[in-house]
Every structure is written in structure tokens, then in C-alpha cells.
């Protein structure tokens, strides 16, 4: 199966939302109606960007990139300004295609886009014990910056979040 990535447009949002709600929920992910609505509102307003993966004419995955994420400034390399920080929100792929590198490909494309918009560092979070996300992020070049208790968003396993970073510069 040949998978191609491209920047998402508003015409993709309904398919993306359906993919997220169908293939995103599991014991590792924090998905609420509010968080999903906020992410798609940010996409619609142009405050975030998405990369979609397509195969056989359908969207089989996506990653959302949020520019200028000062929320992670305390974890950035000294000298990195808040406007040089981006954050990857939801990353989801069709579960039937798991293990084929689509998530890693999406992360790499999101990092390329982050570079274009001026980011020097890109952050992403995952459940500490999520092996699929851990492998995907590691293969894309992300490193763990810190791990912290996150009982508000994590209800299974260790209930901890791993914050990961990709340094562009």
C-alpha cells in the first residue's frame, strides 16, 4: 500500500474527525468531546495545521501541528523562544494499518512543516506506557524530556505522561 502525506484542508475535517473518534480512543489516549472540538476549532480557524496520510483515495491517518506553543517553554532548550516551539496534538492512524510506519511518517512530515513555520523544537505527549506511540515517536527522532504524574488525563497503567521533544536546530 502506497501512502502519501499532504496538508489537510477544511474538506478533510469530517473524515479526520470520524477517523479520530473511531480509531483514537483507547486506554492510553486522552480524548474528550471538548478536546476534540477545540482541536478542530483550531484547525478551522487556522491556528493549527494537519498533515493527512492517504492510501487508496482515503484518509488513513493524520497529525495536528500547533505552532507557537509557549506551554512547553520551560522544557525547551535554553535560548529557544516561545514562538520557536510547536506542539503535535492528536496523531491517529487506521488501526487496521498499525505497524506500517504511517504514524512515524506523519510525525516526520509534521516536523518538516514545523521547520517551515519557524519552529526550532517540537513537543508531543503520550502515555508513559503506550508502546505503539513510544516506538512511533522514537523512530521519528523524538526523545523523552520528562515523565510526570498526570492523573487528570491518564486513567490506566502508571497514569503518567511522557513529554517528548524533537530538536530541529
CATH number, residue 152: 3.40.630.30
Model pLDDT for residues 55-93, shown as the tens digit of each residue: 999 999 999 999 977 789 999 999 999 999 999 999 999
| Strands of the sheet with 143-149, listed across from one edge | 4-7, 49-55, 58-66, 85-93, 121-127, 160-167, 143-149
CA distance 83 to 85: 6
Report the mean per-residue pLDDT for the chain: 94
Model pLDDT for residues 116-148, shown as the tens digit of each residue: 999 999 999 999 999 999 999 999 999 999 999
The structural domain count of the chain equals 1
CA distance 81 to 98: 36
- The pLDDT value given to residue 31: 84
Model pLDDT for residues 14-47, shown as the tens digit of each residue: 999 999 999 998 888 888 889 999 999 999 999 9
Half-sphere exposure of 130 (CA within 13 A, CB side): 27
C-alpha pair distances (Å), 99 with each of 29, 68, 83, 103, 135? 18, 31, 34, 8, 10
Whether the predicted pLDDT of 157 surpasses 80: yes
- The pLDDT value given to residue 169: 66
Is residue 162 very low, low, confident or very high in pLDDT (cuts 50, 70, 90)? very high
Beta bridge partners of 125: 163
Name the residue range of residue 133's domain. 4-167
Give the pLDDT mean for 2-7: 95
Amino acid at each position: 500500500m502506497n501512502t502519501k502525506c499532504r496538508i489537510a484542508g477544511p474538506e478533510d475535517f469530517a473524515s479526520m474527525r470520524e477517523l479520530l473518534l473511531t480509531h483514537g480512543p483507547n486506554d492510553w489516549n486522552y480524548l474528550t468531546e471538548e478536546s476534540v472540538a477545540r482541536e478542530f476549532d483550531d484547525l478551522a480557524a487556522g491556528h493549527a495545521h494537519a498533515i493527512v496520510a492517504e492510501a487508496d483515495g482515503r484518509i488513513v491517518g493524520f497529525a495536528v501541528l500547533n505552532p507557537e506553543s509557549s506551554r512547553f517553554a520551560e522544557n525547551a532548550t535554553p535560548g529557544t523562544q516561545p514562538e520557536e516551539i510547536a506542539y503535535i496534538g492528536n496523531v491517529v492512524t487506521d488501526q487496521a494499518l498499525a505497524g506500517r510506519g504511517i504514524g512515524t511518517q506523519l510525525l516526520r512530515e509534521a516536523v518538516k512543516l514545523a521547520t517551515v513555520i519557524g519552529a526550532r523544537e517540537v513537543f508531543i505527549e503520550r502515555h508513559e506506557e503506550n508502546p505503539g506511540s513510544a516506538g512511533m515517536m522514537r523512530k521519528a527522532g523524538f526523545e523523552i524530556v520528562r515523565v510526570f504524574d498526570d492523573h487528570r488525563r491518564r486513567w490506566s497503567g502508571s497514569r503518567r505522561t511522557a513529554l517528548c521533544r524533537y530538536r530541529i536546530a
